[in-house]
Structure 1
């Protein structure tokens, strides 16, 4: 019992002595276990008023917002740096003075807080940015924010200033001869067909060459063909001899343009004469390569290649121009081929070209009836263009030329939800069978 008594006594003494020391200790244990939260730092972020998918925008409003009061001093002359993309290509990476908001830049602070933002109005109109019609991504990066995770805003824009389109025709203008001639645009980015109505004064092959050497009426187009040594047509052949003295004919820039404009223009002779081959010589000699690297050692055979006809806008006029579709398997069924062409119309349009298709317009199915291809659209066709006759004519001509470029298609019919489309183009009936007109992009309007 004594042992238990002493053990209990020692325990009680230890317990009360430790508690007594804790209570009377000069250390404030309550304060020692409190951890202060770090002070919140002011941070700038960007916000855009409204949507970031815009069509034909003018001004947009961007705000610098903050979570806590802060002062901004010595603002840069350009608050935003602008980069403009068309697809994956950077069109411009300059710093534009887009701001429509007047901000006094001096030594005084600009105070912003949760309730008072720094608001900037920016002009991203087509005229201000000097952009052509088309779809772009504009990336606006703030020069006030260093954190790359929140210092920029992406805006997707589409500019459409409208256009004039002169539809293809079979009317040969009071009995004149229609010759389709090809010219590069002034920037040498495309080759455009135009039909010129003339009084025939020379043999057909020499007349074609003569027209290629004339300056086009549209000053947005240029001629690249000058003198040749001779041009002869015989037995479905055209023989063209090029002077080596003209260095432009073999330059890397102009050579391919010269070759394409001559070749394409002479292929159009088949409206009047049979043409199967073009033979090029240089000062009467057969040469393996010329025109900036194009192989001409063998005769150039005229082949039937599927094409897509897209738009190319020069000033306010829209031209149809053709692009070869070399990756289409013509051994597949017509629906597969049509779907492939539709991909080009909707997703594979090259830069600076225009598709007549708009968002929501689809070809539901195609049917080949003999050599007539029936294109059955969804009902978006009936409403999407409203009363824009230029866009309607552009669409119809593009469809006709594109699908009749297929070897087994001679004509098309256009339907919407399985029914013929009535009253689509003023004073023109498209409810029946449509064949490709002879004369594309008439020059003499």
Structure 2
């Protein structure tokens, strides 16, 4: 019986074709027939959202790029204004609000996925905390459109975290006449975990080493940091080495390992910033001692830290953002550059996740390639760099400073040329990037 129905159906088609009449069959009438060995169905006009969530920076994001994949030619030719986009803001499994984000979405150049009819329309959505007017916290966002053309598309869902960042004071190259810079290394005031370089400007004099010790002892009132070092009775210079005489009453500097380590490193890092001073030797009460800073002894010569460093962000006492250096592992230069970019995007350095620090580069920015010619390193980034921190000029400068301080710590590199998809840019963070940049002289100026 079934075979007979199928044969009649084929004869019916052949007759209409032979007569030259247009064939316009409603195949739904045959829906109760068994499956045929031929596919007479019309393909669905699929519509879906796409995005690369893995490269999306979920902490304090400024934008996300997404695509609408579609086969309908009418939809592909539509303008962004033809779509109405909404964003559900979900917190603690409940919808906090629904925002109309149509005005925060911009169209990007179209991309053809393949040679078939499937294409995508590219968009960017401004997700800055200021634009969305959201308080600090972790949210789940659900993006979708209420237009008829996109109503069947499954919403795009992703998580974000907002936390308010303090102001960053950029590194500088100039100072007032009659002043001299001191680079002082203090423990970070918030967590007492990192050693942070601070530039303090004082009246010029001819005793910079004594001035450094005096200013370390003063601490930093503006940053809320007390003195990290014990009392010093005398300083002497011997070739490339400074001899530091400290009193025998070391108290907490011998009792507390953390205080001891910060005291030692504050001394060595700060004093070796003076030209031609590469080593530091200590004496306790004018003599050699086995009880120097908890586990150290005075027979040890402590050298200047010349390791390659990556500079991450630190929010100090919620007063201001600072750059804090962390040593990188010794590897080949190409691997080092890639590892440094990863560290700047993730705050993960040589396999260690650093707590309470900020990755200066948003994770959605990609380093396309890099090259070195003599003392100039060229870094070619994806277009997302241009949108990073687009509502915070100071954070853009933090990102640039972190790149400059980090990559010029590699031996022989003096200039950094930044490109965006092989093109020079003349405006980012208030800096003209059409020229190669040198590292600023004065990091983390204590006062603006």
Tell me the TM-score range normalised by the shorter chain. Answer: 0.5 to 0.7
Query: What residue number does 1:444 align with?
Result: 447
Q: Does 1:60 align with 2:91?
A: yes
Query: Which of these residues, 160, 180, 184, is aligned with residue 183 of structure 2?
Result: 180
Residue 387 (structure 1) shift: 3.7
In the alignment, which residue of structure 1 is the partner of 2:44? none
Partners of 2:417 and 2:436 within 8 A in 1: yes
CA–CA distance in structure 2, aligned partners of residues 252 and 167 of structure 1: 33
Whole-angstrom distance in 1 between the partners of 2:408 and 2:164:
30
TM-score normalised according to structure 2 size: 0.62
How far 1:353 sits from its partner (Å)?
0.8
Match of 2:299 among 297, 300, 304: 297
- 1:145-156 equivalences under 5 Å are none
- 8 Å contact from structure 2 (residues 311, 344) kept in 1: no
2:356 pairs with 1:352: yes
CA deviations 1:107-162 (Å, max 9, x no partner) are: xxxxxxxxxxxxxxxxx9648xxxxxxx899xxxxxxxxxxxxxxxxx96523213
User: Paired residue for 1:285, among 287, 291, 295?
Assistant: 287
* Aligned-partner SS, 1:321: strand
Deviation at 1:439, TM superposition (A): 0.8
Aligned pairs (5 A) from 1:36-185: 60-62=91-93, 126=136, 158-185=161-188
- Map 1:225-374 to 2 at 5 A: 225-250=229-254, 251-270=256-275, 274-288=276-290, 290-294=292-296, 296-314=298-316, 315-325=318-328, 327-329=329-331, 332=332, 334-347=333-346, 348=348, 349-374=353-378
Please report how far the alpha carbon of residue 54 of structure 1 lies from its aligned counterpart in structure 2 after TM superposition: 7.5
* 3-state SS of paired residue (1:353): coil
User: How many pairs were matched up?
Assistant: 302
8 Å Cα contact 2:218-2:226 kept in structure 1: no
Unmatched segments (≥5 aa) in structure 2: 1-56, 61-87, 95-133, 141-157
Distance, in Å, in 2 between the alignment partners of 1:321 and 1:383 is 24
SS in structure 1 opposite 2:258?
Answer: coil
Structure 1: any 5+ residue segments left out of the alignment?
A: 1-52, 64-123, 128-134, 138-154
Alpha-carbon displacement from aligned partner over 1:294-315 (angstroms, at most 9, x marks no partner): 4553211224210011111021
1:117 equivalent in structure 2: none
Q: 1:288 to 1:435 in 2, by over 3 A?
A: farther
Deviations 1:52-110 (A, max 9, x none): x97679972547xxxxxxxxxxxxxxxxxxxxxxxxxxxxxxxxxxxxxxxxxxxxxxx
Query: After superposition, what is the alpha-carbon deviation per residue over 1:228-274, rounded to whole angstroms, capped at 9, x for unaligned?
Result: 1211223211111222212122231311111111111112112xxx1
Give the one of 398, 401, 409 matched to 1:397.
Answer: 401
Cα deviations by residue, 1:384-408 (Å, 9 ceiling, x for unpaired):
3224211110011001110111112
Q: Distance in 2 between matches of 1:159 and 1:58?
A: 13
Residue 410 of structure 1, aligned match among 409, 414, 432: 414
Per the normalisation by structure 1, the TM-score is: 0.62
Name the counterpart of 1:44. Answer: none
Q: Go from structure 1 to structure 2 and tell me whether the alpha carbon gap of 1:60 and 1:293 turns closer, same or farther (over 3 Å shift).
A: same
Q: What is aligned with 1:206?
A: 210
Which structure has the larger Rg? 1
SS at 1:177 equivalent: strand
Q: What is the deviation of 1:411? A: 1.8
Distance 1:353 1:410 in 2: 26
Distance between the aligned counterparts of 1:190 and 1:290, measured in 2? 21
Residues 205 and 233 in structure 1, CA contact (< 8 A), matched pair in contact too: no
Return the alpha-carbon distance in structure 1 between the equivalents of residues 364 and 91 of structure 2.
Answer: 27
Q: How many angstroms apart in 1 are the aligned matches of 2:135 and 2:233?
A: 51
Distance (whole Å) between structure 2 residues aligned to residue 278 and residue 201 of structure 1? 22
Checking the alignment, whether the CA contact within 8 Å between 1:185 and 1:220 is kept in structure 2 is no
